[in-house]
Structure 1
């Protein structure tokens, strides 16, 4: 009866509520990529080493992923609007503290505070949309959500480039304050409170502890795997990944015994929901994890500035504004399955097309067709994944469902960055050892020292051709120009293998989403 009344009398403020949610979502996702272009300036400001600098990115990603499920479930129990607004406040405070950070350690801690706030905004945004909109309007609303999601992820380098070049690096954090204040006011006035009235008010402490441990060990292990002297077989990495696996298993066993669990494992018996999570994982691992390496290619290999790089990423992000709502409408007409699978297939083809950069004569223009095709796929894929994730579960647990789906996205980014980075590093080091080892212009007794030095500098040095990457020790050696050329060629040829791996991940996502998602799993009483 209540559902019927809701359908007959939709909330007149619902589109303003969507705007509030999108403001918060935009901030949360923008800060995943906006910091990339500011890292060189931050490194110079704080005189930090590379490992400290990496944690400017990783602290945000780690806390974001770890807290997602917990805050989503707390929102289900105590109020989604309440925890969304708390997320806005925490994120804004974290942004202010980041801008005022006196040193790199403080900045990394405050990035974690940002990640905590972002986890609430990201997970509960889907739940709020699902409980605010019904029928065809829900598809359109998720289309707008997808547009903002795709735009924020891809436009980060452009916004960051403008702010860093025209103002200072602190401005990338200050910009969140007016946006956060606006979103907070709109959320207070326009979002209606919703919760799971059947949920127990007691907190599943064992569930919180186990899922936090499991996600922390998994994401931290994926982050650490590319540290110097560590790989997939290192005891430290095996211990983290093994600890994650054990924690997940115990978590499932515990949750199955509870009446009101943090996450009900039975949710994955719904094959369509599982398909949406797999699609979200493959999308993040195959596309969004790739942006870091594309940034290296455009800035360090092709020589574009941060701003020029951001402008070129518009070819990917621009389509999200147009195709997001279109994707939502198409989902209502033909279902989400063909759009998700088709969009992932388009993205797979686009990423495979990026292998043209292995040609020594290649320029930015060789990538335009691939970027445009990736833009079409990116613009189409996000709304139907979100729709599938929340339309295949009852309204009362959409917070939990959206939280798990978003964790799939974050783990996908962490896995993709680690996996693709390992491929890039291994290919790069092998090429350096082979090519420099065969140089006759370098004295034989100096070759191994140069190989070790260039290999330790890594693919980033290769993308720069050793410029500004500790190359001073090689500049007076015979054959230095050849070393530079080998390093850059090794980078771009290794990147070729990264594109192939990312394309395979996306193809797997396209196949599995086609096999798993079924129209019969969607709940008609939610329409």
Structure 2
């Protein structure tokens, strides 16, 4: 008789996870919101951090970039570990680590401690992002999965815009330290939501030994690649600049980083093939790339991220330095992007009833292309938020439609047992694309700012060489000195030239982003629509890609969710109702 109460308790767990799975989606989305917000929130707090801690330009650069570097380098490794030990467990550890690192950042009294805190945040974030996708893929199916991915994708697009707004408000009205401190209550909500409403899932058939060699090579390869993309503009793409920490002869460390990345990634692929042939565990199952939707979807995701997130670099600077907005006002100017993204997520359910996910992706990309092209064509140094707001609203709607549904397309045919690997792979593709976009669009933006300003004032400075320092300040501060130069009648002409050049740089970045998104749209034409029936059959199929297994066979993969035999035996009243 003692076993009956235990059996009764186990029977109730599936019902609870199924009934409250949408609350679980909220917890997972908050996890995404936290890591995306911290990737953008620091940029507007930089002046206050420098003034408070008195740190060097090199240190502040690493405060911003160590997060992205570790985040991108570790995604594949944590995705595979999560498949083995449990996706919810890894996400919980990542959230706790992220919150602890945020406290360290908030209390930091030196640049070194702040950099350490940001590095630990990147480590925690790399544990969170791939597991969020894997948990959605495991706990939602059919049309509900598309809705869940829509919420996930809109959160990414929305928080990329809300991060600067929140960071600006906290910096201006409280302290830059609260830009990190706010993660503590958010993190506690995420932990509670995961424990209460999200079922654990894992690949119970995975080999027990981790592919340590593959993990090391993936971290080294992607870390070196992202380092090169981030630091190229500062350290020099070929010849070393004065800021470079070292140089090999005349060479910058950047081409050496690219060479190291190429060698490491080639060795990574060869090792994964050899281990797969020997029946050993791998970090990335290369057979996933034989799935057309997965392979083509990842290529599209990389290209789309290039265009989407590269643009986020130039717009806040343009709002503040050309239009004269404060950090908070610049955040408000970006708010229509977030609103459009969240509005699009609300419309995905209706679109999902009539159209395939890939059609929704293409519609979103078309909206993004049109809106970015309009922005690049229309912006002027005297533009207002009345011009940019409707354009950014449409752009945000495109992001909301394309980002989430592209994720759904990529993972649609990935077996559930490999969803951690699949999620981490598409996240790595996105992060690589984002870093590439920031590198290329950032170089175009800042090069146009420098050369455009110099060309316009060259004649005047020939007769006033004492003002060369004022011109140099425009480049050194990324346009931050424009308002100071405008206030001085002697240097106002330099400020006017810099505003014009920065506007041209933002327009050029916009045209490059639009071209990248157009290429992404064209590559999406290679992706064939996947029906819900096929997607569910693949998701519940065995890891070796054979014939789909009955859902009851997945009890070991979805622990306590009711998605296996327990679901089919649950009372009708306990079964989930479709979301309206």
**Deviations, residues 71-97 of structure 1 (Å, cap 9, x unaligned):** 111000111111011011111101111
Structure 2 residue matching 1:169: 3-state secondary structure: coil
Is 260-269 or 293-302 further displaced after alignment?
A: 260-269
User: Which of 1, 6, 11 lines up with 2:18 in the alignment?
Assistant: 11
Q: Which moved more, 1:353-362 or 1:77-86?
A: 353-362
| Partner-residue secondary structure (3-state), 1:392 | coil
Q: Which of 105, 113, 120 pairs up with 2:120?
A: 113
Q: Which residue of 2 aligns with 1:315?
A: 336
Alpha-carbon distance in structure 2 between the residues aligned to 1:496 and 1:464: 21
CA contact (8 A) 1:26 1:149 kept: yes
Task: Please tell me whether residue 181 in structure 1 is matched to residue 192 in structure 2.
Answer: no
Question: Residue by residue, what CA displacement relative to the aligned partner does 1:477-505 show, whole Å, maximum 9, x if unpaired?
Answer: x9522222222222212222111111111
The answer as to whether partners of 1:274 and 1:516 remain within 8 angstroms in 2 is: no
Match of 1:424 among 445, 449, 459: 445
Aligned with 1:496: secondary structure?
helix
Whole-Å separation in 2 of the counterparts to 1:520 and 1:186: 31
Structure 2 Cα separation of the partners of residues 383 and 360 of structure 1: 34
SS in 2 for 1:256: helix
113 and 271 in structure 1: CA distance in 2 versus 1, 3 angstrom threshold:
same
CA offset at residue 467 of structure 1? 2.3
Q: Distance in 1 between matches of 2:230 and 2:285?
A: 28
Pair 1:136–1:360, CA change in 2 (3 A): closer
Q: Normalising by structure 1, report the TM-score.
A: 0.91
Q: Give 2:165's aligned residue.
A: 158
Contact conserved, 2:223 with 2:261, CA < 8 A, in 1? yes
* Cα root mean square deviation, aligned: 2.6
Answer yes or no: is the 8 Å Cα contact 2:321–2:483 preserved in 1.
no
Q: Distance in 1 between matches of 2:326 and 2:82?
A: 42
For 2:264, the equivalent position in structure 1 comes to 247
Q: Is this contact kept in 2: 1:302–1:364, CA < 8 A?
A: no
1:66 corresponds to: 73
Give the conservation status (yes or no) of the 8 Å contact 1:141–1:325. Answer: no
Deviation of the 1:42 alpha carbon: 0.6
Partner of 1:483: 494
- Counterpart in 1 of 2:364? 343
Query: Is residue 2:38 matched to residue 1:27?
Result: no
Q: Of 88, 93, 118, which aligns to 1:81?
A: 88
Structure 1: 5+ residue stretches without partners: 1-5
Where does the alignment leave 5 or more consecutive residues of structure 2 unmatched? Answer: 1-12, 241-250, 541-580
In structure 2, distance between residues paired with 1:327 and 1:460: 42
Give the whole-Å Cα distance in 2 for the aligned partners of 1:70 and 1:353: 40
1:244 positional shift: 0.8
TM-score normalized by the length of structure 2:
0.83
Q: Tell me which of 285, 289, 292 is aligned to 2:313.
A: 292
Secondary structure of the 2:128 match is: helix
Task: Determine if contact 1:207/1:262 at 8 Å carries over to the other structure.
Answer: yes
Contact 1:163–1:169, Cα closer than 8 Å, also in 2 = yes
Q: Deviations over 1:106-143 (max 9, x none)?
A: 11111111111111111100100111112222112222
| Structure-2 separation of matches of 1:328 and 1:459 | 48
Going from structure 1 to structure 2, the CA distance change for 1:221 and 1:15 (only over 3 Å counts) comes to same
1:455 Cα offset (Å): 4.7
1:203 and 2:210 are equivalent in the alignment: yes
Question: What residue is the counterpart of 1:497 in the other structure?
Answer: 508
SS at match of 2:237: coil
**Matched residues in 2 for 1:355 and 1:150: separation?**
20
Aligned equivalents of 1:147 and 1:465: distance in 2? 34
| Aligned partner of residue 462 in structure 1, secondary structure | coil
The CA deviation at 1:31 is 0.8
The Cα shift of 1:464 comes to 4.3
Aligned counterpart, 2:463: 443
Q: CA deviation at 1:419?
A: 0.7
Whole-Å separation in 1 of the counterparts to 2:225 and 2:206: 28
The equivalent residue for 1:388 is: 409
Shift of 1:506: 1.0
SS state at 1:52 partner = helix
CA deviation string 1:272-330 (max 9, x = no partner): 11232233223322122212211011111111112212122121101222221422552
